[in-house]
Amino acid sequence: MADWQRQEHTYAALDLGTNNCRLLIALAAPAGSGQDGFRVIDSFSRIVRLGEGLSRTGELGAAAIERTLCALEICRDKMQARGVTRRRLIATEACRSAANGAECLAKVRAATGLDLEIVDRETEARLAAAGSVSLADSAAEGVILFDIGGGSSELVWLAGAAPPCAQSTDMAPLERIRFWVSLKIGVVTLAEEFGGIEVSGAMFEAMIAHAARELESFVAMADGERRGRHFHLLGTSGTVTTIAGVFLGLARYDRRRVDGLWMSSGQVDHAVARLRRMTYEERAANGCIGHGRADLVLAGCAILEAIRRAFPADRVRIADRGLREGMLIQLIRADRDAARAES
């Protein structure tokens, strides 16, 4: 049996987004074990709403920064307790677009000792692909990967399966990327513009129309690629995992049942319709949603509906993985490549 405990390094990946602060700590599969990837030994996720009000003011608010610092202190303590030796800590759209994004991260560094890196949109899209491409159907001629975030949403067109010689390399998912786009809308920005507590049918359609306009450039790029091809959608975000949890009727969210789940177009329709029928209070009481996202989930559903209308597909695969997993994969493979180069 492979010895997971006797590893030279313990890895961590942290993603500070517009809405959430998420951390994974993992061990790499032992060399020579015949296994790829990693085993998660600790994790953390908290809704911090760092981007609250950002679309209106252009800056990160003091209360939002304070909430974020509290979450990051927990992340720091977890990494110290687990003896993390390799890590990548990133900040995405909120810090990227805020006038005081760099100032916020300077406060983070002073208060926690953590040095976060603001990544550009292309890096974000590529990390999402690296982290979730393993769930793409190998028989598909194309896959539209989408990540509906808090302040931005990334879409990536992935070509069919990588050639066998590339499957074990860090470049395998990246070589499959034909094109990508980062939309300047997410669940927080859309909900703040249109409202997220009481969402009428007309308001929901208005959100879809707004998202559809943002999608136009990606639709134009994909027109030739998708024609006559067998493709499916692959979603990685809180929106799609929530939809999956509601579809499954879970009293509490269970990643083991959601990650990798295939949903038909009709099943997605049914779950979205159920969410739209819920009151705000019912959404908040739902174990797969909660108070922290009850006012955001319908904005996410609207973005998803815009994607599905632009790219009608029979199936959607749900991924409870993405940026953090992409970072872990790249960190581990970089170490393995370095070890091979030295041997």
**What pLDDT score was predicted for residue 31?**
66
Q: Which architecture does CATH list for 10-119?
A: 2-Layer Sandwich (3.30)
CATH 3.40.50.2300 fits 129-323, yes or no: no
Tokens linked to 247: 């579809």
Q: Do domains 10-119 and 129-323 have the same CATH topology?
A: yes
| pLDDT of 169 above 50 | no
Higher pLDDT, 169 or 101: 101
Question: What's this model's pTM, rounded to 2 decimal places?
Answer: 0.90
Task: Kindly give, in sequence order, each residue whose CB lies less than 8 Å from that of residue 69, ignoring residues fewer than 6 positions away.
Answer: 107, 108, 111, 112
**What pLDDT score was predicted for residue 202?**
98
Q: Strand pairing partners for 159?
A: 142
Tokens linked to 97: 């677009």
Cβ proximity of 314 and 264 under 8 Å = yes
**What pLDDT score was predicted for residue 34?**
47
Q: How far apart are CA 74 and CA 82, in angstroms?
A: 12
**pLDDT tens per residue across span 186-240:** 999 999 999 999 999 999 999 999 999 999 999 999 887 776 578 999 999 899 9
**What pLDDT score was predicted for residue 29?**
84
Element (H, E) at 44: strand 38-47
In this structure, which amino acid lies at residue 332? I
In this structure, which amino acid lies at residue 59? E
Mean pLDDT to the nearest integer, 304-312: 97
Q: How far apart are CA 173 and CA 263, in angstroms?
A: 23
Nearest CA to 13 among 65, 97, 86, 80? Answer: 86
Each domain of the chain, given as residue ranges in start order, spans 10-119, 129-323
**What pLDDT score was predicted for residue 36?**
57
| pLDDT of 46 above 50 | yes
Q: How far apart are CA 46 and CA 67, in angstroms?
A: 10
Tokens linked to 306: 């815009």
**What pLDDT score was predicted for residue 5?**
57
Segment among 4-18, 75-89, 271-285, 297-311 with least mean pLDDT? 4-18
Confidence tier at 161 by pLDDT (50, 70, 90): low
**What pLDDT score was predicted for residue 100?**
98
Provide the phi-psi class of 230: left if phi over 0, else alpha when psi is between -120 and 50, else beta: beta
Higher pLDDT, 288 or 174: 288
Token match 């003091």: residue?
Answer: 62
Higher pLDDT, 165 or 83: 83
Alpha carbon distance, N-terminus to C-terminus of the chain = 25
Tokens linked to 146: 């989408």
Nearest CA to 241 among 319, 146, 310, 334? Answer: 319
Question: What DSSP letter does each residue of 253-288 carry, written as one string?
Answer: --HHHHTT-EEEHHHHHHHHHHHHHS-HHHHHHSTT
Mean pLDDT to the nearest integer, 296-306: 98
| pLDDT of 255 above 80 | yes
**What pLDDT score was predicted for residue 164?**
46
Nearest CA to 297 among 316, 319, 264, 275? Answer: 275
Tokens linked to 39: 């085993």
Q: How far apart are CA 262 and CA 199, in angstroms?
A: 28
**pLDDT tens per residue across span 96-153:** 999 999 999 999 999 999 999 999 999 999 999 999 999 999 889 899 999 999 999 9
Token match 């034909």: residue?
Answer: 178
Mean pLDDT to the nearest integer, 268-279: 98
> Which residues in 50-70 are b (16+ Cβ under 10 Å) and which e?
bbbebbeeebbbeebbebbbe
Average pLDDT score over the chain:
92
How many percent of the chain have pLDDT more than 70? 91
**What pLDDT score was predicted for residue 256?**
95
Tokens linked to 279: 């009151």
Q: How far apart are CA 214 and CA 296, in angstroms?
A: 19
| pLDDT of 167 above 70 | no
